[in-house]
């Protein structure tokens, strides 16, 4: 990693002067980055101004900053809510399953596709596996409904009298299996790219030393994609509690709601339908803080263990 | 060198310009005109509709309104689906049109101080004054304690003074199998069993759905849900509009309670489970989409598949409508006296609505808006709004008698109208002939007339004009209901599907009555407002 770092000039000034100096010296680069910086500031930092809504009673006529200061009362309300335990359990179980399975599956798929010798077949397999990524969530859920309909559905035929979508204990598996199926092919592209950079000489050397197919994967392929895996895992950890809203919401029904009420659907019901903006902001902020914590934690562990980290 | 320097600057300037221009465009909205070039005031009206396929400006009555207010109307036309997503955001941002039709209700006016008090300017709207004089319930539905009116109600006329829900049963099947109209739950089970086993539609396939039941939702009871069966046990429901019945509350002899914890509720669950067990309702009834239920109701237009539904009227069945008749409320047991049986009381909620038109406090041309409203509430324009333009789609047959053209129903002509999304008042003195929906409804309601006579519209029903006036109470109610319903409905659905209500009932009631869920608090809140509004009425 060191070699890639920009050599810092010996006489680089520090502090405020340093920044001014950097602007003068590299103004073309700054200009190049300006749209991106502007974008991040406008869409990521400016809206953070609204976070104070979580601590204030929102009164539309007075604007975001005008409401009465409520401190942590909305957070307390959420923690004390009878729904809290159930919602957290559902959110964590759905997201952990999706995270872990959605992380492993593309790696395996990529290693398998990499074993295909013919470029034509390889391309075909790759195309077929990533196609589902482009199906919209609404269609996916409709497909799930149709497949699981008792008596007539593709899978429902074999699964007894009731739709699996009505069984709370099946909600999480249906969610992550369909999620993995849909995005596995797409997510493996990045690993395939990493695998394509393997030096062919390594394979040849390993083969001469008598390595079999499994050993090639074990000692050449996996170490190559490991840094990529690490970075992706850390990034995924940042969304550990962010179960997507649409899919859960669309899959919800009265029978499975004990397993399908998650933070985002609850926020929707409370915030958008119930017009309690402060309360739902507090829930959203809590969600983000937990995600942030996991991101830092994963990054820290990864840094200590494998020297791969994103910051 | 100099050449390159110039180029650099040009490129830089262009890049900067490119970044700044979109921003500038964000900042300045197109200047809003409050008057048109011809000097007439412009008012912005928003309306929410089922579908927005015929633009508002294509309807001729709009011209009549513009003539009456001597102004131009700019329409903002939203589909229901769009509105349900936008409403909260619009309210939070305060970005509301000069006048909004079918968008806001008095509850919104409690939370948000955006609306003009129309009562203060009632003298400019004589038609609305007449309306209120004629129908005091409508006035009470929108007037708050201090006498403010922020939203005007609408009234679609006496022919819609009916319950929203009716049991509709396949008479052809009954006759074919030689069965009597069922009077009790047991008899109903027998009839449904015969529907299932004896191939009443005669196509040789076991494709009959004896009771084509709608699913339960996760956030409350919806229109046409199977729990109208509570009425068989003497609990009056009102599954429509804004009634708290949708969250499980009911009134009996002036006392508010929640039916979610009542033995009658358990009884209905047990009965529905017995139907489920015997395959008399679809096995996936709890999970399937409403579209699937509707599809099974209308069938292929030739062979009926549904034996019984809870619905609006026989028009639900489209081409098969002649096979169906309303079924009177079956009693839960033969021992129950007829006088105890009730029916879903939604007469006020079906005829009237409390979210007609609301005016923004900041509307620029209020005088013009009032004139427009007065025109909208005139009988003739109200009819045109609801049924379609006169004389294109509706014939004026003389004083106060109108007739819909025949083609409107068989699809030969497209009778563009806003239907129940209108802002108007069709007085009882007006009659509209050939309104087939209303005729079917009247016919359906006739079967319930005796039962409905058992219902006291004030003592046994939460009257449509009882509203939660304080934001604090509204919030408490909403939060508690989310928690209560997500637990109760999941349990209910499970019991209907799999049984086990007898074993689980006691712990279920105990959990619901736990103070942390706030069921008792909600009952108290509703009781408080019920007492307040009904005592004012006396």
Find residue B252's DSSP bridge partners. Answer: B255
**Which chain B positions have a beta carbon within 8 Å of A256's beta carbon?**
287, 490
Q: Outline where B212-338 has alpha helix (H).
A: 263-277, 290-298
Two tokens at A31? Answer: 């200009």
Inter-chain CB proximity A255 and B490 less than 8 Å: yes
* CA–CA separation, B219 and A87 (whole Å): 15
The alpha carbon dihedral of B87, B517, B259, B506 has a sign of positive
Mean pLDDT to the nearest integer, B354-366: 92
Two tokens at B145? Answer: 């304690």
Position B27 scores a pLDDT of: 41
pLDDT in tens, A237-251: 777 777 778 899 999
Position B3 scores a pLDDT of: 54
Q: What angle do CA B138, B144, B147 make, to 5 degrees?
A: 95
Q: Outline where B448-518 has alpha helix (H).
A: 449-452, 471-498, 501-513
Look at residue B482 and tell me whether its pLDDT is greater than 50.
Answer: yes
Sheet strands side by side (includes B394-398): B394-398, B401-404, B431-433
Mean pLDDT to the nearest integer, A124-137: 93
Mean pLDDT to the nearest integer, B48-65: 87
**Which chain B positions have a beta carbon within 8 Å of A280's beta carbon?**
none
Position B24 scores a pLDDT of: 46
Two tokens at B535? Answer: 């005592």
Q: Is A10 on the interface with B (CB under 8 A)?
A: no
pLDDT band at B28 (very low <50, low <70, confident <90, very high): very low
Backbone torsions φ then ψ of B117, nearest 5 degrees: -80, 105
Position A288 scores a pLDDT of: 87
pLDDT band at B15 (very low <50, low <70, confident <90, very high): low
Nearest of B516, B515, B511, B491 to residue B502 by alpha carbon = B491
Inter-chain CB proximity A166 and B12 less than 8 Å: no
Phi-psi label, residue B309: left if phi above 0, alpha if psi -120 to 50, beta otherwise: beta
Nearest CA in chain B to A31: B12
The shortest CB-CB distance from A254 to any of B91, B493, B517 is to B493
Distances in whole angstroms, Cα of residue A103 to Cα of each of A191, A195, A304, A307: 11, 16, 21, 20
Burial class (CB in 10 A: 0-12, 13-18, 19+), A218: middle
pLDDT band at B383 (very low <50, low <70, confident <90, very high): very high
**Which chain B positions have a beta carbon within 8 Å of A36's beta carbon?**
none
Nearby residues of B46 by Cβ (< 8 Å), 6 or more positions away: B75, B76, B77, B78, B96, B97, B99, B100, B101, B103
Nearest of A43, A75, A83 to residue A286 by alpha carbon = A75
Q: Is A60 on the interface with B (CB under 8 A)?
A: yes
Position B93 scores a pLDDT of: 82
* CA–CA separation, B430 and A153 (whole Å): 52
- The shortest C-alpha distance from B288 to chain A (Å) reads 8
Distances in whole angstroms, Cα of residue B21 to Cα of each of A29, A32, B16, B120: 22, 18, 9, 46
Phi-psi label, residue B169: left if phi above 0, alpha if psi -120 to 50, beta otherwise: beta
The shortest CB-CB distance from B486 to any of A149, A261, A274 is to A261
pLDDT band at A70 (very low <50, low <70, confident <90, very high): confident
Q: Is A201 on the interface with B (CB under 8 A)?
A: no
Position B377 scores a pLDDT of: 95
Q: Which of B12-26, B75-89, B213-227 has the lowest mean pLDDT?
A: B12-26
Mean pLDDT to the nearest integer, A249-272: 86
The shortest CB-CB distance from B218 to any of A35, A252, A272 is to A252
A13-32 residues touching B, CB cutoff 8 A: 31
Q: Is B296 on the interface with A (CB under 8 A)?
A: no
Inter-chain CB proximity A253 and B286 less than 8 Å: yes
Q: Is A281 on the interface with B (CB under 8 A)?
A: no
Nearest of A140, A138, A116, A142 to residue A127 by alpha carbon = A116
In three-state secondary structure terms, A116 is coil
Judge whether A80 and A224 are in contact, CB under 8 Å.
no
Mean pLDDT to the nearest integer, B126-134: 95
Nearest CA in chain B to A144: B288
Burial class (CB in 10 A: 0-12, 13-18, 19+), B238: buried
Q: Outline where B342-457 has alpha helix (H).
A: 347-351, 366-376, 379-387, 407-410, 436-446, 449-452
* CA–CA separation, B229 and B213 (whole Å): 12
Look at residue B21 and tell me whether its pLDDT is greater than 50.
Answer: no
Q: Outline where chain A has alpha helix (H).
A: 15-25, 27-40, 73-80, 84-115, 119-130, 137-148, 168-196, 200-208, 213-216, 222-237, 245-251, 257-260, 263-267, 277-306
Give the rounded percent of residues in chain A with a pLDDT score beyond 70: 96
Distances in whole angstroms, Cα of residue B105 to Cα of each of A184, B118, B156, B468: 47, 14, 17, 12
Two tokens at B281? Answer: 């309702």
Two tokens at B262? Answer: 């009542």
Inter-chain CB proximity B287 and A255 less than 8 Å: yes
Q: Is A165 on the interface with B (CB under 8 A)?
A: yes
Looking up tokens 């307390």 gives A76
Two tokens at B396? Answer: 């004026």
**Which chain B positions have a beta carbon within 8 Å of A167's beta carbon?**
none
Inter-chain CB proximity A275 and B113 less than 8 Å: no
pLDDT in tens, B60-104: 999 999 999 999 999 999 988 888 888 888 888 888 999 999 999
pLDDT in tens, B257-272: 999 999 999 999 999 9
Fold (CATH) for A83-306: MetI-like fold (1.10.3720)
Nearest of A86, A74, A73, A63 to residue A271 by alpha carbon = A74
Buried-exposed string B115-147: b where 16+ CB fall within 10 A, e elsewhere: bbbbbebeebbebbeebbeebebbbbbbbeeee
Position B4 scores a pLDDT of: 55
- Strongest mean pLDDT among B73-87, B463-477, B515-529: B515-529
Nearest of A179, A174, A152 to residue A253 by alpha carbon = A174
Domain with CATH 1.10.3720.10 in chain A: 83-306
Nearest of B476, B496, B17 to residue B287 by alpha carbon = B496
Inter-chain CB proximity A60 and B218 less than 8 Å: no
- The shortest C-alpha distance from A75 to chain B (Å) reads 14
B6-35 residues touching A, CB cutoff 8 A: 12, 15, 19
**Which chain A positions have a beta carbon within 8 Å of B492's beta carbon?**
254
Nearest of B162, B186, B226, B188 to residue B327 by alpha carbon = B188
Nearest CA in chain A to B12: A31
Position A3 scores a pLDDT of: 45
Backbone torsions φ then ψ of B359, nearest 5 degrees: -110, 140
Mean pLDDT to the nearest integer, A38-60: 89
Look at residue B32 and tell me whether its pLDDT is greater than 60.
Answer: no
Judge whether B501 and B493 are in contact, CB under 8 Å.
no
Q: Which of A158-167, A184-193, B183-192, B482-491 has the lowest mean pLDDT?
A: A158-167
- What chain B holds in terms of domains, given with CATH numbers, is 42-160+349-433 (3.40.190.10), 166-344+455-465 (3.40.190.10)
pLDDT in tens, B316-347: 998 899 999 999 999 999 999 999 999 999 99
The shortest CB-CB distance from A270 to any of B215, B482, B493 is to B482
Find residue B79's DSSP bridge partners. Answer: B49
Position B17 scores a pLDDT of: 53
Q: Is B92 on the interface with A (CB under 8 A)?
A: yes
Two tokens at B383? Answer: 């009819």
Q: Which of A58-67, B213-222, B232-241 has the lowest mean pLDDT?
A: A58-67
């Amino acid at each position: 990693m060191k070699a890639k770092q920009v050599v810092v000039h010996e006489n680089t000034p520090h502090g405020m002067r340093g920044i001014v100096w950097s602007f003068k010296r590299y103004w073309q680069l700054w200009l190049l980055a300006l749209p991106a910086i502007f974008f991040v500031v406008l869409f990521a930092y400016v809206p953070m101004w609204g976070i104070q809504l979580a601590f204030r009673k929102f009164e539309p006529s007075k604007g975001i900053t005008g409401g009465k200061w409520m401190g942590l009362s909305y957070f307390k309300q959420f923690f004390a809510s009878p729904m809290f335990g159930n919602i957290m359990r559902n959110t964590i179980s759905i997201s952990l399953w999706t995270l872990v399975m959605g992380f492993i599956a593309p790696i395996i798929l990529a290693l398998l596709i990499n074993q295909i010798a013919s470029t034509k077949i390889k391309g075909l397999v790759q195309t077929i596996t990533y196609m589902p990524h482009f199906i919209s969530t609404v269609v996916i859920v409709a497909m799930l409904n149709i497949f699981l309909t008792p008596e007539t559905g593709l899978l429902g035929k074999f699964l007894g009298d009731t739709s699996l979508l009505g069984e709370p204990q099946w909600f999480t598996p249906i969610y992550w299996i369909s999620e993995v199926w849909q995005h596995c092919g797409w997510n493996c592209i990045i690993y395939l790219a990493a695998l394509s950079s393997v030096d062919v000489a390594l394979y040849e050397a390993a083969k001469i030393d008598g390595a079999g197919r499994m050993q090639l994967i074990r000692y050449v392929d996996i170490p190559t994609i490991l840094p990529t895996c690490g970075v992706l895992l850390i990034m995924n950890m940042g969304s550990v509690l962010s179960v997507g809203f649409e899919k859960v919401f669309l899959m919800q029904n009265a029978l499975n709601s004990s397993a399908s009420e998650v933070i985002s659907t609850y926020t929707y019901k409370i915030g958008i339908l119930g017009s309690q903006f402060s309360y739902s902001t507090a829930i959203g902020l809590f969600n983000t803080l937990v995600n942030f914590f996991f991101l830092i934690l994963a990054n820290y562990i990864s840094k200590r263990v494998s020297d791969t980290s994103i910051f | 060198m100099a050449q390159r320097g110039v180029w650099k600057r040009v490129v830089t300037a262009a890049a900067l310009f490119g970044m700044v221009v979109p921003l500038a465009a964000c900042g300045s909205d197109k200047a809003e005109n409050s008057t048109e070039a011809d000097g007439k005031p412009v008012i912005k009206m928003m309306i929410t509709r089922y579908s927005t396929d015929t633009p508002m400006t294509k309807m001729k009555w709009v011209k009549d309104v513009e003539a009456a207010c001597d102004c131009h109307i700019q329409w903002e036309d939203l589909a229901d689906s769009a509105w349900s997503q936008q409403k909260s955001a619009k309210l939070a941002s305060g970005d509301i049109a000069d006048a909004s039709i079918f968008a806001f209700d008095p509850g919104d006016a409690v939370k948000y101080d955006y609306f003009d008090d129309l009562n203060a300017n009632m003298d400019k709207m004589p038609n609305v004054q007449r309306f209120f004089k004629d129908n005091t319930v409508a006035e009470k539905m929108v007037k708050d304690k201090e006498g403010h009116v922020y939203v005007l109600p609408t009234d679609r006329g006496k022919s819609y003074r009916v319950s929203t829900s009716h049991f509709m049963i396949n008479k052809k099947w009954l006759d074919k199998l030689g069965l009597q109209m069922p009077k009790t739950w047991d008899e109903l089970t027998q009839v449904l069993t015969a529907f299932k086993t004896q191939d009443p539609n005669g196509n040789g396939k076991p494709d009959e759905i004896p009771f084509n039941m709608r699913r339960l939702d996760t956030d409350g009871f919806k229109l046409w849900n199977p729990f109208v069966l509570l009425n068989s046990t003497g609990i009056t429901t009102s599954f429509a509009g804004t009634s708290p019945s949708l969250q499980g509350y009911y009134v009996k002899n002036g006392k508010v309670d929640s039916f979610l914890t009542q033995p009658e509720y358990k009884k209905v669950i047990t009965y529905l489970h017995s139907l489920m067990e015997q395959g008399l309702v679809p096995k996936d009834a709890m999970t399937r989409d409403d579209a699937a239920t509707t599809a099974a109701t209308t069938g292929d237009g030739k062979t009926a598949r549904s034996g019984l539904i809870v619905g609006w009227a026989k028009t639900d069945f489209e081409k098969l409508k002649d096979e169906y008749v309303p079924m009177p409320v079956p009693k839960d047991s033969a021992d129950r006296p007829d006088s105890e049986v009730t029916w879903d009381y939604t007469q006020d909620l079906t005829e009237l609505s409390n979210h007609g038109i609301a005016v923004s406090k900041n509307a620029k041309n209020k005088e013009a808006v009032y004139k427009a409203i007065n025109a909208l509430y005139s009988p003739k324009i109200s009819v045109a709004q609801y049924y379609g333009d006169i004389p294109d789609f509706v014939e004026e047959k003389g004083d106060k008698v109108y007739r819909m053209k025949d083609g409107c129903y068989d699809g030969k002509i497209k009778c563009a109208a806003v239907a129940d999304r209108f802002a108007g008042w069709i007085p009882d003195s007006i009659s509209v002939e050939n309104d087939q929906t209303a005729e079917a409804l009247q016919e359906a309601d006739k079967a319930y007339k005796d039962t409905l006579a058992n219902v006291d519209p004030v003592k046994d029903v939460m009257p449509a004009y009882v509203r939660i006036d304080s934001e604090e109470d509204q919030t408490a109610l909403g939060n508690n209901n989310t928690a209560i319903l997500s637990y109760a409905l999941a349990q209910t659905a499970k019991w209907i599907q799999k049984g086990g209500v007898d074993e689980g009932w006691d712990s279920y009631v105990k959990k619901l009555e736990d103070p942390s869920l706030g069921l008792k608090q909600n009952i108290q809140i509703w009781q408080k407002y019920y007492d307040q509004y009904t005592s004012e009425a006396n």
